[in-house]
Amino acid sequence: MVKQVRAARTRQALVLAAAEAFAHDGYAGASLPAISRRAGVSAGALHFHFPSKDALAGEIESVAARRVEELAERCRSSDGSALGVLVAAIRHLVVAFATDPVVRAGFALGGDLSRDGGATVLDRWHGWVREVVGQAQRTGELADGVSPDGVAVAVVAATVGFEALGSRDRDWLSKERVVEFWACLLPRLSAVPGHDPADVPEGGAVGDRDAGSSLAGL
């Protein structure tokens, strides 16, 4: 039991250290010796858990994908409109970029051209956003002429942009930046006029209130 706990802690330390290295230096720039030093474990212990850098990156993407899905589903469980759920999910995801190196690295790895394959987190996030926007269309929340696929593309591209820019300047991960984004985008998307980007409950659930007021919780 003690060995299992120690092994789990070592694995977690390696995942965290690698996430920090990948997010900061990119996949190509992060070396296994540097990751093992950052984690405070031997090179042998690293190779015992992860035979290659690609295996380590794959584990980070899997963990990040699970965390993003859990975050998104918590937002969906609130009693709100589909657009309110989407606003809340973006809000919490941007917070995760600032506080969770694994989530940040998962998105960064998906767009890293120095690594073949990947994009696990991006693909799952895109699918989730597309599903929620489709729900918004079915319930009459989307304005006439607005394409759900186009909305999903815009939201996912903006999400990746927040991560990339925020890795260099934390101001991009601020509440104000996210409010500015939705203040520009949400009135174009929603069938409900007169949106105020500063008027929503903390969780983003808007119930039968205007979907446009769902920025209040940001």
- Summarised one tens digit per residue, pLDDT across range 17-67 is 999 999 888 899 999 999 999 999 999 999 999 999 999 999 999 999 999
Of the segments 94-108, 118-132, 200-214, which one has the largest average pLDDT value? Answer: 94-108
Tokens linked to 119: 């994009």
Q: Are 122 and 107 in contact (CB under 8 A)?
A: yes
- Give one DSSP letter per residue of 195-216, joined into a string: --TT---TT---TTS-GGGGGT
CA–CA separation, 176 vs 170, rounded Å? 12
| 70-119 pLDDT tens trace | 999 888 876 678 998 999 999 999 999 999 999 999 998 887 777 776 66
What's the whole-model pTM score? 0.82
3-state secondary structure of 83: helix
Closest CA to 124 of 64, 58, 55: 64
Tell me the residue type at 109. Answer: L
Residue 211 has pLDDT above 60, yes or no: no
CB-side neighbour CA atoms (13 Å) of 172? 13
Residue 134 has pLDDT above 90, yes or no: yes
Residue 150 has pLDDT above 80, yes or no: yes
Average pLDDT in the chain: 84
**Domain 61-215 classified CATH 1.10.357.10?**
yes
CA–CA separation, 129 vs 150, rounded Å? 11
Residue 217 has pLDDT above 70, yes or no: no
Q: What are phi and psi of 142, to 5 degrees?
A: -80, 140
| Domain range annotation of the chain | 61-215
